[in-house]
Amino acid sequence: MSAHLIDISFDGHMHTPWCHHATGTMEEYVLSAIAKGLSHIVFLEHMEATGVNYFETTWLTDQDFDDYFAEGQKLREKYGDRLSIGLGVEVGYSVTQHQELQDRLSRRSWDQIGISYHFMPVPDQAFDLNLVSRQERNVRAIAETGCEKVLDNYFKTLIEAVRVLPGTILCHLDAALRFQTGLQLTQGHWQQIEELLDTVKASNMALEINTSGFAIRGTPFPAPAIIQMAIIRGIPLVAGSDAHRPEDVGRYFHRLPELLDSLSTFI
Ligand SMILES: [Zn+2]
Ligand SMILES: [Zn+2]
C-alpha cells in the first residue's frame, strides 16, 4: 500500500543559498538529486512578511526570488531531460501581514506553495520567536514565554494560515519547538491537530513528510501518529528533505515505505 501513499523519487522541499542559511549552489542540489536517482524535485524557498522582527535574515527578498526563478529556469533548460525541476515557496505565515503575503504570492506562478509558521511575535521579547531554531537565545525565549502557550498559538495560527493562504502543501506540521527538551503535546494540542488536518483536507492540500526529523529525533515531521491521522483522512503525502545542503537531498527517503506501511496496516 505504501507505494501508493508516497513517491520517494520526488523530493518536494529544498533550499538554496538565497535564504542565507543554506549552502551549495542550486545546480549542486540538482546534481545531487540526479545522483540519488530522483526524478522530480521542487525547491521551496523561504518567504516571510516584511515586518518580521529578527536579528538575521533567513528568507528571500522579491529581488532574490527574481534571481531564483532565473537560475531555476536555466537549470530546467540544462537538466530538464533528466530531472523535473519545480520552483516553489515555503511561506511563513503572519497574522498581521497575511494580505502582503497573498499579494506577493499572487504575483508569480509557483509550482508548489508550502505553508509554515516560523516567526511568532510576542510581547516582552526583543525579537519574534523563531519556532524552529536550535539557537540558544530562541530556545530560551520560547521557554520564557511558555511552551504550552506558544504551541497553542502555533497550531491556532497554522489553521488560520491554511484557511487564508492559497497553499498546496502544509510543511513540517509538528516541527515547532523541536529543540525544547521534554516537550509534551496536551489533549488540547491533539484537538488542534485534528482541526488542522481537517482544514488541510478541506483545502485540498497535501501534507509534507519532512525527513529532516529523522536526523533530529529519529522520526519524520510530523510524528507517525499524526501521519496516520492524515492517511485516515485521505490527505496526499509528499516527501520533503528540507535540504539546506546538497548532500541532504532525498535524505532518509528509503525509510518511508516501511514506516507508512506500518501506519496503514491497521486502517
Ligand atoms: Zn530554512
Ligand atoms: Zn520551514
- pLDDT of 266: 72
- Please state, in angstroms and rounded to a whole number, the distance separating the CA atoms of residues 262 and 257: 9
Question: What is the DSSP-derived secondary structure letter of residue 19?
Answer: G
CA of 90 to the centre of ligand 2 (A): 7
Closest ligand to residue 170's CA: 2
Q: Look up the pTM and report it.
A: 0.96
pLDDT at 3: 54
Give the Å distance between the CA of 118 and the centre of ligand 2: 7
For residue 265, the model assigns a pLDDT of 84
Ligand at minimal distance from the CA of 169 is 2
Which cell numbers in the block locate residue 228? Answer: 496516520
Eight-class DSSP state of 227: H
**Cα distances (Å, whole numbers) of residue 178 to 57, 162, 173, 211:** 21, 21, 11, 14
Query: From the CA of 132, which ligand is nearest?
Result: 2
Distance 146 CA to ligand 2 centre (A): 21
Tell me the CA–centroid distance for residue 46 and ligand 1, in Å.
7
Q: Any residues with CB less than 8 A from the CB of 238 and at least 6 apart, and which?
A: 6, 7, 10, 12, 169, 206, 207, 208, 209
Q: How far is the CA of 266 from the centre of ligand 2 (A)?
A: 31
C-alpha 261 chain-centroid distance: 23
Half-sphere exposure for 36 (CA within 13 Å, toward CB): 23
Cα–ligand 2 centroid distance for 229 (angstroms): 21
Average confidence (pLDDT) per 10 residues, the chain, 267 residues: 80 98 98 98 98 96 98 98 98 98 98 98 93 94 94 98 98 93 93 98 98 95 97 97 98 97 85
DSSP code of residue 50:
T
- Give the three-state DSSP class for 155: helix
Report which DSSP code applies to 253. Answer: G
Q: DSSP class of residue 65?
A: H
User: 244-247, long-range: CB within 8 Å, 24+ apart, which pairs?
Assistant: 244/14, 244/15, 244/19, 244/21, 244/22, 244/23, 245/22, 245/23, 245/24, 246/23, 246/24, 246/28, 246/29, 246/31, 246/32, 247/32
Q: Three-state DSSP class for 46?
A: strand
Domains located in the chain, CATH noted: 49-54+89-264 (3.20.20.140)
Query: Per 3-state DSSP, what percentage of the chain is helix, strand, and coil (rounded to 5)?
Result: 45, 15, 40
User: Ligand 1 centre from 223 Cα, in Å?
Assistant: 20
**What is the tens place of the pLDDT at every residue in 35-63?**
999 999 999 999 999 999 999 999 999 99
Looking at all shown ligands, the one closest to residue 210's CA atom is 2
Cα–Cα–Cα angle for 232, 233, 236, nearest 5°?
A: 100
* pLDDT for position 2: 47
C-alpha cell at position 127: 525579537
